[in-house]
Amino acid sequence: MSSSSTNTAQALNVNLQILSIMIFNFANYLTIGLPLAVLPSYVHGNLGFSAFWAGVVISMQYFATLLSRPHAGRYADLLGAKRVVLMGLSGCFLSGVFYLLALWKMESPVMSLALLCIGRLVLGVGQSFAGTGSTLWGIGRVGSLHIGKVISWSGVMTYGAMAVGAPLGVWIFRLGGLGLLAAVIMAIALAAILLAISKEGVQRKSSNVIPFRQVLGKILPYGVVLGLATSGFGVIATFITLFYEAKSWSGGAFALTLFSSAFVAMRLLFPNVINRFGGQKVALICFLFEALGLLLVWVAPEPLLALTGAMLTGAGFSLVFPALGVVAVKRLPQENQGSALATYTAFMDLSLGITGPLAGLLIAHAGISSIYLAAAFAVILSAALILRLVRKEQGLKER
């Protein structure tokens, strides 16, 4: 067998091993995507609460995810990735239970709303545990050399599940209401739990887990860069349809589709680019494309240019998370990489949480186009910070 055939076979084997674990992250995000387009209208239309409360129900999950990320990583380091995945999938299952209880208490809207909120909080914790655990389980299976590839596949599964889940959830809700939707969520989570139990875990290297403040100190520079770059992702994902409406254009949803498609396509087409060229170099190139895309949306006089800008932004941001994640996670010993990955991911959660309100304030004062210019500046600042970090590390090596 030729060396190229051997390399191809080895690469295929690595990908198959990663996918055998990433299926749990797919199940995790499928349970998140299924109710995403249903619950706001259910809270507003069926329970009779305002749009504000509909937003609160959805936001509960993100709030819980942000707060539980560091704990997910720490427990993965202490207990092992497989156990953390099982804990997370159990949270996904319990969210379905609370949706059923909310349906049962529908005659008392306040109680029903409270049960939905509890379900969302449990789902948020489940998301962080299952997502962090499956990524670390995948890394444990194929080795730290393939961290970038594991993180990339994790993202493909995440956004693929969300893209499938939202329309599927609407269809299921139309068929059988919230009860059927909750049952499907519970069935998916239970099937994933049973499959995860049957799979072999990875051995923990050590119990020498360092304090969180030390993890944060190591991750902070790359976390800040990730947070700034995530603002571009946030303003496209959250406001592009409103941007189109403000311009009296049609096709805002298609711009979001192009953005998401470019994001997934980049991860599928360039799975080895981070290992070949290094995370920092890849991130710098990505920042250029992301900033260019945001600037095109800002100046767009017609929908076609805005579509191009949205696509470039999605393509540019796609590899930012794994590219910087490879560098950030490797700053800590292997036995602490769970805490490292979870802390690093929390910066993305935080950025997505604050980008919406800040962008809303900017829209009120300077118009909706201004948020894309501001996000472009944030991405350019990310590139400048990475260059500074690279020069600082080179200076330390030369000493």
Which tokens in the block code for residue 32?
A: 């998140």
Q: Which of 172, 198, 224 is the last residue of a domain?
A: 198
Q: What CA–CA distance (Å, rounded) separates 323 from 327?
A: 7
Task: State the residue for tokens 């499928």.
Answer: 30
Contact 127, 120 (CB under 8 A): no
Output the pLDDT for position 299. Answer: 94
Q: Could you tell me if 194 and 289 lie in one domain? A: no
Q: Which of 198, 224, 242 is the last residue of a domain?
A: 198
146 versus 7: the higher-pLDDT residue is: 146
**pLDDT, tens digit, 9 for 90 and up, residues 247-272:** 888 877 778 778 888 888 888 888 77
Q: What CA–CA distance (Å, rounded) separates 370 from 359?
A: 9
387 within a domain of the structure (yes/no): yes
Q: What 3-state class would DSSP assign to 108?
A: coil
**pLDDT, tens digit, 9 for 90 and up, residues 171-207:** 999 999 999 999 999 999 999 999 999 988 776 555 5
The pTM (predicted TM-score) of the whole model is 0.74
Name the band, by pLDDT with cuts 50, 70 and 90, for residue 152: confident
**201-229 b/e (C-beta count within 10 Å ≥ 16 → b):** bbebeeeebbeeeebbebbebbbebbbbb
203 within a domain of the structure (yes/no): no
**pLDDT, tens digit, 9 for 90 and up, residues 380-395:** 999 999 998 888 777 6
Q: Could you tell me if 326 and 267 lie in one domain? A: yes
Sequence-distant (6+) residues with CB within 8 A of 344 are: 219, 222, 223, 226, 324, 325, 328, 329
Q: Which of 170, 198, 226 is the last residue of a domain?
A: 198
Q: Could you tell me if 363 and 221 lie in one domain? A: yes
Highest mean pLDDT among 148-152, 231-235, 303-307: 303-307
Q: Could you tell me if 398 and 302 lie in one domain? A: yes
Q: Could you tell me if 46 and 163 lie in one domain? A: yes
Output the pLDDT for position 31. Answer: 93
Whether the per-residue pLDDT at 91 is higher than 80: the answer is yes
Output the pLDDT for position 93. Answer: 97
Computed over every residue of the chain, the mean pLDDT equals: 84
204 within a domain of the structure (yes/no): no
**pLDDT, tens digit, 9 for 90 and up, residues 307-348:** 999 999 999 998 898 889 888 887 887 767 777 877 888 888
Q: Could you tell me if 298 and 226 lie in one domain? A: yes
The whole domain housing 74 covers: 7-198
Q: Could you tell me if 33 and 115 lie in one domain? A: yes
The domain that holds 265 is classified in CATH as 1.20.1250.20
Whether the per-residue pLDDT at 399 is higher than 60: the answer is no
Whether the per-residue pLDDT at 3 is higher than 60: the answer is no
